[in-house]
Amino acid sequence: MTDAAIEYQACERQILYLRATGLMRDELEDPVLERMDWLWPRMDPDEQEAARARARSFADAQDDAVIRDRSVEVGGHGLPREEAA
Amino acid sequence: MLVSVQRVRAPGHAIGLNTFIYSHGDVAWPTASAEAFRLSATLVQAWHEIPGGGNVVLSYLDLVAPDGTGRGRLLDILRESLDAITRAGGPLPVAGCDGLDYALKWQIVPTLLLQWVHEVKELMRRVVLP
């Protein structure tokens, strides 16, 4: 794997983490996206295709239902989470 | 017993791990260990980093084992499960086979999938160190 592909995946993880945790802000995301643009032509075609496939799978997964937690008191029953309607 | 650990994100974006321990009471352990998830269980202890209710669940891990399972056995179960999950290459619906005295399942939101190894280890740590 090229150094560019390794760094590209690190950038992907950073973006995904920011989105998952709700910490995404333009000033945090833009420098990472610019770095990914710079890295892209330095990756092999196979690495680029793998990155496209990852992007597609994550985009598809965004449609999954969100799970939310629920309050459970000591002495109560049921798991502390429920599927969103 | 059922130990449930979940990482939640509050509406204000605070993130934390909440841990819950349930007791099954005096019930017969099912032949198929995964069936133990269906047993009635009563919450006996809870640790909250984020108050529960309405938060987004980013990941969770549920472990069922007979009531009274000791910490040493729990550590063995977690090691076995981590090996099984790692061999499978990611989240499993259920780790644990028929005839075993435990079953484990865990989930993670897709956007954290690339960090699943770190995440499952964090969740497992909370099972024994809530």
User: What band does A63 get if pLDDT is binned at 50, 70 and 90?
Assistant: very low
Cross-chain residue pair A69–B110, CB shorter than 8 Å: no
ipTM of this predicted complex? Answer: 0.87
Residue A35, exposed/middle/buried by CB under 10 A (0-12, 13-18, 19+)?
Answer: middle
Does the global pTM surpass 0.80? no
Locate tokens 């000591």: which residue? A74
**Distance in angstroms (rounded) separating the CA atoms of residues B17 and A72:** 15
Cross-chain residue pair A17–B57, CB shorter than 8 Å: no
**Pair B64, B81: CB distance under 8 Å:** no
Q: From the list A12, A22, A72, which residue is nearest B9 (CB)?
A: A22
Cross-chain residue pair B43–A16, CB shorter than 8 Å: no
Fill in the amino acid letter for B99.
G
Whole-Å CA distances, B95 to A40, B62, B63, B91: 38, 10, 9, 9
Fill in the amino acid letter for B44.
V
The residue ranges of every structural domain in chain B are: 2-128
Q: What rounded mean pLDDT belongs to chain B? A: 87
- Enumerate the residues of chain A whose CB falls inside 8 A of the CB of residue B8: 69
The three-state DSSP-derived secondary structure of A16-55 is HHHHHCCCCCHHHHHHHHHHHHHHHHHCCHHHHHHHHHHH
**Helix (H) / strand (E) containing A82:** strand A81-83
User: Taking 60 as the threshold, does the pLDDT of residue A64 lie above it?
Assistant: no
Cross-chain residue pair B112–A74, CB shorter than 8 Å: no
Token couple for B53:
């209710």
Give residues with Cβ within 8 angstroms of A78, minimum separation 6: A70, A72
- Interface check for B73 against chain A (CB to CB < 8 A): the answer is no
The 10s digit of each residue's pLDDT in A39-60 is: 999 999 999 988 888 877 665 5
Interchain CB contacts (distance < 8 Å): A and B: 87
Quote the pLDDT of residue A2. 93
| Average pLDDT of the segment spanning B77-103 | 76
The 10s digit of each residue's pLDDT in A8-22 is: 988 888 887 777 676
Quote the pLDDT of residue A85. 47
Instruction: Compute the Cα dihedral for A63, B17, B27, B82 and give only its sign.
Output: positive
| Average pLDDT of the segment spanning B85-108 | 74
The 10s digit of each residue's pLDDT in B7-19 is: 998 887 788 999 9
**Torsion angle of the four alpha carbons B62, B65, B69, B71, in this order, in degrees rounded to the nearest 10:** -30
Token couple for B76:
């063995």
Which residue from A15, A10, A31, A77 is spatially nearest to B43, judged by alpha carbons? Answer: A77
**Pair B102, B63: CB distance under 8 Å:** yes
User: What band does A26 get if pLDDT is binned at 50, 70 and 90?
Assistant: low
Token couple for B129:
């160190």
- Interface check for A14 against chain B (CB to CB < 8 A): the answer is no
| Average pLDDT of the segment spanning B38-56 | 94
User: What band does B98 get if pLDDT is binned at 50, 70 and 90?
Assistant: low
Q: From the list B40, B42, B58, which residue is nearest A20 (CB)?
A: B58
- Enumerate the residues of chain B whose CB falls inside 8 A of the CB of residue A72: 20, 43, 46, 52
Q: From the list B52, B54, B115, which residue is nearest A13 (CB)?
A: B115
